[in-house]
């Protein structure tokens, strides 16, 4: 019981800190920078981003908690944990480089790297728990859409 609570708390803290830092950096540039950009045709209205990220953070929490509950070996734990923490760090770095530094090229490079890390994480999850993998699918799809938007912003601006 104590281990499950520790795993849940660990996962919650990682996801919560990431969400708060990303929200903070987004708030710094959403009006002053993002509002001045020429946006791609498929760009959703701003409020849809917050809905999407709320769902994604819940799914990330559940997926990683299931992963921690299901891992069979210490190596699986270290691999999944390293990739999960890395993708959270890259999320923060993307938000920082896009909204705070206002660097479209740098943020495009970061999000492509983030896509690759999430794909690798999902591959790792296939060997640990299928549900953890499935719960990550909306995240990967959203990231690929965000990658498209970011790359289009580079060319439009």
pLDDT at 139: 99
pLDDT at 16: 98
Q: What is the mean pLDDT of the segment spanning 46-66?
A: 96
Q: Output the 3-class SS for 85-96.
A: HHHHHHHHHHHH
What CATH code would you report for 2-156?
1.20.1260.100
Largest CA distance in the chain: 53
- For the four alpha carbons of 60, 83, 132 and 72, in that order, the dihedral sign comes to negative
> What residue ranges do the domains of the chain occupy?
2-156
**CB atoms < 10 A from the CB of 149, how many?**
16
- Is the pTM higher than 0.85? yes
Q: Is 106 exposed, middle or buried (0-12, 13-18, 19+ CB in 10 A)?
A: middle
The rounded distance, in Å, linking the Cα atoms of 21 and 92 is: 7
pLDDT at 72: 81
Burial letters 2-13, b for 16+ CB under 10 A, else e: eeeeebeeebee
The rounded distance, in Å, linking the Cα atoms of 67 and 125 is: 7
The rounded distance, in Å, linking the Cα atoms of 36 and 143 is: 22
Is the confidence at residue 3, as pLDDT, over 90? no
């Amino acid at each position: 019981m104590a281990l499950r609570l520790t795993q849940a708390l660990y996962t919650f803290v990682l996801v919560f800190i990431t969400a708060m830092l990303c929200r903070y950096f987004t708030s710094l540039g959403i009006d002053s920078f993002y509002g001045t950009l020429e946006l791609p045709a498929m760009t959703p209205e701003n409020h849809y981003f917050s809905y999407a990220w709320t769902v994604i953070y819940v799914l990330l929490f559940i997926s990683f908690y299931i992963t921690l509950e299901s891992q069979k070996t210490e190596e699986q734990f270290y691999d999944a944990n390293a990739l999960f923490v890395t993708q959270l760090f890259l999320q923060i770095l993307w938000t920082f480089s896009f909204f705070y530094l206002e660097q479209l090229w740098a943020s495009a490079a970061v999000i492509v790297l983030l896509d690759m890390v999430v794909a690798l994480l999902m591959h790792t999850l296939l060997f640990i728990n299928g549900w953890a993998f499935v719960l990550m699918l909306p995240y990967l799809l959203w990231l690929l859409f965000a990658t498209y938007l970011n790359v289009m912003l580079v060319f439009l601006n």
